[in-house]
Chain A
Amino acid sequence: MCDTIINIVNIVGKEVVRTVVGLIGVFIVVLGNAIMLTWTERKVAGHIQRRIGPKEVGPFGLLQSFADSVKLLGKELLTPANVEKPLYYLAPTLIFVPVLVTFVVIPFDGFLQVKDINTGILVILAFSSLTVLSILIGGWGSDNKYSLIGAVRSVAQNIAYEIPLLLSLLPIIFMANSFSLRDIAEAQRGVWFVVYQPIAFLIFFVASVAETNRTPFDLPEAESELVAGFHTEYSGMRFSLFFLAEYTNMFIVSAIAVTFFLGGYQGPVLPGVVWFFIKTYALVFVLLWFRWTFPRVRFDQLLNFSWKILIPVSFLNLLVTGGILKI
C-alpha cells in the first residue's frame, strides 16, 4: 500500500515537473515568436515594397514590438453595448487553448519535448478544430455584420482546407507507421520525407496557409471589404490575443511541416534545436513572402480550388504512395 502511494507520487511528481518546465519553455517560445514575428513581418513588408519599415524604436526598430505591446496593454477595454457578452468574452480565450495544447507534442529536439504522446498528430488536429469554434463564437457574439460575414467565410474556408491537410499528412503516416511526432522525425534520419512526398508537402503548405487565414487566402479578414473580419469589434488586449494566436499559428503550421516533411530536428553539425528553428523560420519567412506577393483570390475560387484540385490530387497521391510501398 505504502509502496504504491510512493510510486504514484513519484510518477505524478515527475510529470508535474515536466509540465512546469515545459510550460515555461513554451511561453518563452510563444512570446518570443510573437515579438520577433511582428517586427519581421513589418520589416519584410517594408523591404519588399522598397520601404525601410520600422526604424525609430531601438536599433533597426528592434524594440518596436515591445513598444506596441505596452501600448496595447494600456488601451481601454472596450465592450460594445449590444454584444452577446458571454460569447464575446469567451472567443479570445478559446482561440488560445489549441495554440498552447499543440506545443505539448511538438519535438524541438530529440529530448526537448513536453511529452511525446502516442496519438500526437491527432491531438493537434483535434484541438485545432477549437479554432473554428472560437472564430464562430467571436463572429456571433459581436453583433456586427462584418464579424458575422468574416466568421462564416473563415469557417467555410477552414473546413474546406482541413480535408487536404489531413490527406496530405496520411502518406507520411503510411510510411512511418506512427502518430507520434518524435517517431516521424526519427524516421527521417536518412532522407527527408519531402523527397518522397513533394506533392503532399505542397498540398500541406497550401492548406496550412489557408488554415491560418494568411494571404492569398485571407478573405475572412479582407481589409478592403470586411474591415477586420471576425475580430472587428475586438480592441486593445482582446484584439492582441487574437493577434498573438495568429502569429503563433504561423509558427505551429511551419513546425508541423518541418517535423513531417523536412526532417524535424535532424541536421549536421549544429544541435537539433537550432536546426529546428532555422527550418521553421525559413518556412515562416515564405508565409510572410506570400503575403506581399500574391493578390487575394475570390471566395468561390478559394473553396473550389480545395475541392476540385487539392482533394483529388491528394487522394491520387495517397493511392500512389500505397502502391509504391507495396513494391
Chain B
Amino acid sequence: MIFADAIFIIIVLVTLAGALMTVLSGSIIYALMGLVTTMFGIAGLYVYLNAPFLAMMQILIYVGAISVLIAFAIMLIGPLYKRPKEWSYPLKLIAAAVVALFSFFMFAKVMLKAQWAVLSKPFAISTKDIGRLLFDRLTFPFELISLLIVVAIIGAVMLSLYSRGEK
C-alpha cells in the first residue's frame, strides 16, 4: 500500500513542520500558528487510524478552544508582538538541549521496551461503542469527569478574581 504510506508520511511531515515552527519561531503568534498546524496533523493521524470522532474532537477542542485561550492570554500580556529569539542565551540553549535529550532517551527506552501487538483485524470501535461503554462500564469515571471540569472552572475563576484583587 504505497498510497497509504504516502498519506501517512504527508501527515507526519505536516505535524513535524508545525511542531518545529512552534519551537523555533521568534514570535509568539507564529508559534501559535505552528501549534494549530500540529493539531491538524494529529487530527489527520487519528483519521488515518480510523478514529474520526477523536480527530474531530481534537480540532474542536485544540483549534477551537485551547488556541483561543492562548490567544487571549497573549493579548492579556500585552505588547509581545515582535520579541527577540529566546535561545540566543547560551544557558537557555544548554537547558533546552538537556531536557530534549533526556525526554528523547526516555521515550526511546519506553518504546523499545514495549511489546507492540499486531491486530489481526483493523481497529474498529465506533463512537456508538464509546457511548455504550460510558453508560455501562465507565459510569463512575463519566460522572467524575463532570466533577473534574467543575473543579477546574472554580479554580480558574478564583485565581483570576484574586489577581484582580477581589474576593
Q: Which residues of A contact B (CB under 8 A)?
A: 8, 12, 84, 86-87, 117-119, 122-123, 125-130, 132-133, 136-137, 140, 152, 155, 159, 162, 177, 179
Contacts and interface: CB of A to CB of B under 8 A. Distances in A.
Given A87-B29, A119-B52, A119-B53, A125 B60 contact: yes
Given A87-B29, A133-B36, A162 B3 contact: no
Interface in B25-81: 29-30, 33, 36, 43, 52-53, 56-57, 59-60, 63-65, 67-68, 71-72, 75, 81
B4 to A, nearest CB: 10
Given A126-B64, A132-B64, A179-B127, A155 B56 contact: no
B71 A119 contact: no
B56 A129 contact: no
* B3, B68, B72 pick with most chain A CB within 10 angstroms: B68
Contacts of A118: 52
A119 B127 contact: yes
A122 B64 contact: no
8 contacts: A118-B52, A119-B52, A132-B68, A133-B36, A133-B63, A133-B68, A136-B68, A155-B71
Nearest to A4: B1
B29 A140 contact: yes
Given A129-B63, A130-B63, A140-B29, A155 B52 contact: no
A152 B59 contact: no
Given A87-B29, A125-B56, A130-B63, 8 more contacts: A118-B52, A125-B60, A126-B57, A126-B63, A126-B64, A140-B29, A155-B71, A155-B72
Nearest to A141: B29
Contacts of A159: 64-65, 68
Contact of B67 (A8, A133, A179): A133
Contacts of B75: 152
Contacts of B59: 126-127, 129
Main secondary structure, interface of A, reads helix
A162 B29 contact: no
B35 to A, nearest CB: 11
A122 B52 CA distance: 9
Interface of B: 3, 29-30, 33, 36, 43, 52-53, 56-57, 59-60, 63-65, 67-68, 71-72, 75, 81, 127-128
Contacts of B60: 122, 125-126, 129
A140 B80 CA distance: 12
* B3, B43, B56 pick with most chain A CB within 10 angstroms: B56
Given A129-B59, A140-B29, A162 B71 contact: no
Contacts of A140: 29
Contacts of A177: 128
A130 B56 CA distance: 12
A133 B127 CA distance: 27
Contacts of B43: 126
Interchain residue pairs A-B with the least CB separation, the first 3: A129-B64, A122-B56, A126-B59
A179 B55 CA distance: 14
A127 B81 CA distance: 27
Contacts of A137: 33
* A117, A136, A137, A162 pick with most chain B CB within 10 angstroms: A136
A187 B56 CA distance: 24
B68 A155 contact: yes
A8 B30 CA distance: 40
A108 B56 CA distance: 23
A122 B53 contact: yes
A155 B67 CA distance: 11
Nearest to B67: A133
A122 B57 contact: yes
Contacts of A119: 52-53, 56, 127
A126 B128 CA distance: 19
A162 B56 contact: no
Contacts of A125: 56, 60
Contacts of B33: 87, 137
Contacts of B71: 136, 155
B82 to A, nearest CB: 9
Nearest to B29: A140
A166 B70 CA distance: 22
